[in-house]
Amino acid sequence: MKNKIVILVIATILVSSCVSPKVYKDLESKYASLKKENKKLSEENESLLGANNKTENDYATLKKDYDTAIANRDKLQADYNASKTNLENLKASYDALEKNSSASLAENSKKNRELLAQLEAKEQALEAENIRLENIKSELEQRSNRVTELENMIASKDAAMTQLKNAISKALTDFDGKGLTVEQRDGKVYVSMENKLLFESGSWAVGAQGKKAVQQLGNVLGENPEIAVLIEGHTDDDPYKGTGQISGNWDLSTKRATAIVNILRENNAIVPENLTAAGRGEFAPIASNETAEGKAKNRRIEVILTPKLDEVTKLLNEI
């Protein structure tokens, strides 16, 4: 419908202003270019959402593998305990056979040989069980050490994220009560900035106060080059009423996220490969859109900071 209106307006201008066909064709070309750019931005947004979902799925998989490793360790411990009991039983049986063999030696040579054969078999079984027990014990110790190492690694990353959260909170103290919050959950740090701190209504240009907040956040991120940074733009559910380069809320949220990325990239200490911009439109609200207060909370930028889990993944594969 919008396309028809634009074409109608252009046609009206041509008729009323006697514009040459060449100018009309130039306008048509610009319209086609803008339409192509809009499609490309939508496709890039879908790709970024897919990458975000993959990161969350990878983290959930790592947590599941960790729980499985704990269960395997407990099972090995149970096997070890059972084998130890079996070994003790074999030793007791061995002692009984040895005693009976000594008592029967004088009575019956044949029976003595049978007892000796049984004793030898028990000794072999005992030796085999000792070997199996030692193997289980060794494997248990190795897995236990790797689980401990994994637990320490996860605890270290959690501590590092806590330290990062505290550093960000300290750096952004000036913006307390201005629509900015810093939280830590699920091993990640979430920095949420309401649009009233960053943008004018319908705009993706960052104001002076918002730019200062983003730059101060960037100073902390520049000191943590191993952190992946996802910038998500969010809107309320009111339809976008502006004109020009924006096609809707989703497009607006993407441009706002990209604007934050561009400010962070001004800091040379931040690794560009760690930055991702994504637009979520009105589809990930954190409050009800039935009230003005809820809408204000939903209009926000979320900066999601995730530690790199390559070392954790490698250790899980070794368990």
Residue showing tokens 């199996």: 132
Q: Which distant-in-sequence residues (6+ apart) come within 8 Å of 237 by Cβ?
A: 249, 282, 285, 289, 295, 298
Sequence-distant contacts of 285-292: CB under 8 A, at least 24 apart: 285/234, 285/236, 285/237, 286/192, 289/236, 289/237, 289/238
Q: In terms of C-beta density within 10 A (0-12 exposed, 13-18 middle, 19 or more buried), how is residue 93 classed?
A: middle
DSSP 3-state percent helix, strand, coil across the chain (nearest 5): 70, 10, 20
Q: How far is CA 201 from the centre of its chain?
A: 31
Residue ranges and CATH numbers for the domains of the chain are: 43-66+165-318 (3.30.1330.60), 73-163 (1.10.287)
Could you report the per-residue pLDDT of 260-272, keeping only the tens digit for each? 999 999 999 999 9
Whether the pLDDT of residue 6 is over 60: the answer is no
The predicted model gives 129-145 an average pLDDT of 80
Could you report the per-residue pLDDT of 179-234, keeping only the tens digit for each? 899 999 988 999 999 999 999 888 899 999 999 999 999 999 999 998 999 999 99
Q: Output the pTM of the full model.
A: 0.55
The predicted model gives 164-174 an average pLDDT of 93
The predicted model gives 253-261 an average pLDDT of 97
Write the Ramachandran bin of 177: left for phi over 0, alpha for psi from -120 to 50, otherwise beta.
left
Q: How far is CA 223 from the centre of its chain?
A: 20
pLDDT tier for residue 292 given thresholds of 50, 70 and 90: very high
Whether the pLDDT of residue 15 is over 60: the answer is no
Q: What is the rounded CA–CA span in Å between residue 119 and residue 104?
A: 14
pLDDT over 90, % of the chain:
39
Could you report the per-residue pLDDT of 54-100, keeping only the tens digit for each? 766 766 777 777 777 788 887 878 888 887 888 788 788 878 877 77
